[in-house]
Amino acid sequence: MTATTGPLAGVRVLDMTRLAPGPYASMLLADLGAEVIAIGGGRSGLPVPALSRGKEFISLDLKTTDGLDALHTLVSEADVFMEGFRPGVADKLGAGYAELSAVNPGLVYCSVTGYGQHGPMAQRAGHDINYLAIAGALGTFGPSDHPPTLPLNLVADFAGGGLLSAFGIVSALYDRTRTGKGRYIDAAMVDGVLSMMGMNFVDWQTPTLPGRGHGVLTGSMPFYRCYRCSDDRYVAVGALETAFFERLWTTLDLGAVPNHFDESTWDHIEKSLATAFETKTMAEWTTEFAEVDACVTPVLEPHELATFDQIVARDPDFALDSVPVVPVFSDGPTRRATDTHVKTEEVLRRAGVVEDLAHRAAADGVPSSVTGLSWPPL
C-alpha cells in the first residue's frame, strides 16, 4: 500500500490538532491512503516526527483574513477536518463546525478533546493521567500498597483518543457514501477510556468491590503477573487457562500441578514461580519457553525491539522513531518517509490559494507577501 493507494485513497484530511491523539489519528488515516495536510501556526505547530508519516505540513494564521480564507478554500475540497482546541475556540477562529460545514456540507468534522464538548470539566486542561483518573481506570492499575501505576500515555491519548477518533472518522466517511452528508464527531478521551473499561466494570458490580490489585487481570493472580529473573530482568506470565498453567508448571519442574483456580493455592504458586524464575536470566527463560505454549514472554526494553524475532518478522524496517504501519492488509503496508518541513506555499499553490491572494493583494495595492500565509524554514 502506498501514498496513492489503500482504502482511503482520494480522501483529503485537514488536521489542526497538536498533541498526541490527533496527530496519531491522522497518521493512521494517512497509512490507509488518505492525503493528510497538517495545519500549524508558527513554531507551536511543528510536526512530531514519529507521528508525521504520510503528511504534508503548512502554516496558517487564522487570525488574519487571508489565513482564514485559505483554510476555507482547503475545506471546500476536503473530506475531513480535525481540531483539538478547547470547546468554543475553533468557533472563535472561524473554523467551527457550523462555519466549515456551511462551506462544505459533506465535511466530516472531528473535535478531539480530553473531556468532550460539554460538562462541568469541558473547559479544563488535562493530560492522559487526568483522563484515566476520572474514567475510573487509573485507580485499578498497580498493587494495593502502592500509588496507582501509570501506563505511559497509551490508554487515554493513543487508544481512547487517537484510535477511536480515527475509527469514528472512517465510520462517518462510510456513512457519507450512503447519505451524502457529513457529520460532527465529539471525540473525548475520557469517553474512550470508559468504553474500553466496559468488560472490567463487571468486576465492580459485585456486592463486595475489589480494591486496586485484587480484580481480575490486575496481577492479584500469581499466574498472571511479571516475575524477576536472576539478571533483574522480568518475564511476563499469562498462564490463565489450565493447559497453559500445566505447561508452565511442568516446564519449571515444580512437581504436582496444583489447582490454580483455588485461591488457597495462590501463595504456594506465587512462591514457587518466584523462586524458579530467579534461577535463570530473562534470555535463558526466553529460550526455554520459545517452544512451550504457556504464555510466557520476555519483558523487553524499547531498544531491544528492532532485533526481537517476532517484531522483525512483522516489520523488518521497525525503528523507534517511526511508528509501525497498521493494520496489515493483504497487499502489504509500505512505510512512507515524510519530509516534515513546512510547505505552505507548495500545498496552497496546488489548491489555487496563493494565486487568488496574490491577485487580491495586487488589486488592493499591498505587497504580495500575505501575512496570513507563511512558509518559514522551520
Strand order, beta sheet including 80-83:
183-188, 108-113, 80-83, 12-15, 35-40, 55-60, 373-374
In this prediction, residue 376 carries a pLDDT of 33
Q: Measuring CA to CA, which residue among 340, 341, 308 is closest to residue 321?
A: 340
- The burial class, CB within 10 Å (0-12 / 13-18 / 19+), for 142 is middle
Q: Give per-residue pLDDT as tens, 213-245.
A: 676 778 889 999 999 999 999 999 999 999 999
The fourth-level CATH superfamily of domain 224-314 is formyl-coa transferase, domain 3 (3.30.1540.10)
Looking at the chain, the whole-number percentage of residues with pLDDT higher than 90 is 64
In this prediction, residue 209 carries a pLDDT of 60
- The burial class, CB within 10 Å (0-12 / 13-18 / 19+), for 128 is buried
Q: Give per-residue pLDDT as tens, 262-318.
A: 999 999 999 999 999 999 999 999 999 999 999 999 999 988 998 999 988 988 777
In this prediction, residue 214 carries a pLDDT of 73
Which of the following CATH numbers is that of domain 12-196+335-373: 1.20.1260.10, 3.40.1280.10, 3.40.50.10540, 3.40.50.300?
3.40.50.10540
Place of cell 475545506: 75
* Sequence letter at residue 192: G
Segments making up each domain of the chain, as ranges: 12-196+335-373, 224-314
Q: Give per-residue pLDDT as tens, 1-41.
A: 444 678 999 999 999 999 899 999 999 999 999 999 999 87
How confident is residue 366, by pLDDT bands cut at 50, 70 and 90? Answer: very low
Gap between the terminal Cα atoms of the chain: 30
* pLDDT mean across residues, the chain: 86
pTM: 0.85
Q: Give per-residue pLDDT as tens, 79-94.
A: 999 999 999 999 999 9
Between 330 and 142, the more confident residue is 142
In this prediction, residue 157 carries a pLDDT of 95
Q: Measuring CA to CA, which residue among 219, 228, 210 is closest to residue 149?
A: 219
Catalytic residues: 127, 157
pLDDT over 50 (residue 320): yes
In 3-state terms, what secondary structure has residue 56? strand
In this prediction, residue 342 carries a pLDDT of 60
Q: Which of 24-33, 61-70, 189-198, 200-209 has the lowest mean pLDDT?
A: 200-209
In this prediction, residue 96 carries a pLDDT of 98
In this prediction, residue 375 carries a pLDDT of 35
Please state, in angstroms and as integers, the Cα–Cα distance from residue 190 to each residue in 25, 109, 363, 368, following that order: 16, 19, 50, 46
In degrees, rounded to 5, the angle at the alpha carbon of residue 262 between the alpha carbons of residues 261 and 264 is 140
- The burial class, CB within 10 Å (0-12 / 13-18 / 19+), for 208 is exposed
Q: Which of 142-156, 170-184, 273-287, 335-349 has the lowest mean pLDDT?
A: 335-349
How confident is residue 370, by pLDDT bands cut at 50, 70 and 90? Answer: very low
Instruction: For residues 160 and 285, give the distance between their C-alpha atoms in angstroms, rounded to a whole number.
Output: 34
CA 2 to centroid of chain Cα atoms: 21
